[in-house]
């Protein structure tokens, strides 16, 4: 039962397609897993990195955030600060536009 549930979750995230008797990957060799899946990996490390990055940004500065999952953690720390943030991901835009938002 557990494997079926896990396969269902992965299928919902777009990582695989359920087929009779199992599953088939939807990722190409060398392709990164979907954003939602990567966002759940090494969260503590990403938050430590984000805290360090945030400490290097002074109020009033402008910062460009890439579309990575660590940058999403930086966006969460900068959303209440008086800085100009130019995010390159829809997830970070969502976080910055609504302080209550926690995209997955």
To which residue do tokens 């970070």 refer?
A: 92
Q: Do 81 and 99 meet the contact criterion of CB atoms below 8 Å apart?
A: no
pTM of the model: 0.64
pLDDT tens per residue across span 29-88 = 655 667 777 777 788 999 999 999 999 999 999 999 988 889 899 999 999 899 999 999
Cα–Cα distances in angstroms (integers) from residue 34 to residues 1, 10, 12, 86, in the given order: 24, 10, 11, 22
What was the pLDDT predicted at 91? 87
What was the pLDDT predicted at 33? 67
Measured over the CA atoms of residue 82, residue 88, residue 94 and residue 97, the dihedral's sign is positive
The closest alpha carbon to 65, from 42, 41, 93, 38, belongs to 93
What was the pLDDT predicted at 101? 61
Cα–Cα distances in angstroms (integers) from residue 22 to residues 4, 27, 33, 72, 80, in the given order: 9, 16, 19, 34, 46
């Amino acid at each position: 039962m557990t494997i079926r549930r896990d396969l269902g979750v992965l299928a919902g995230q777009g990582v695989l397609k359920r087929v009779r008797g199992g599953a088939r990957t939807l990722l190409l060799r060398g392709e990164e897993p979907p954003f939602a899946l990567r966002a759940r990996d090494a969260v503590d490390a990403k938050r430590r990195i984000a805290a360090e990055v945030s400490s290097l940004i002074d109020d009033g500065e402008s910062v460009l955030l890439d579309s990575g999952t660590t940058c999403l953690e930086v966006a969460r720390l900068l959303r209440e600060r008086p800085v100009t943030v130019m995010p390159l991901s829809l997830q970070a835009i969502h976080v910055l536009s609504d302080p209550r938002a926690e995209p997955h």
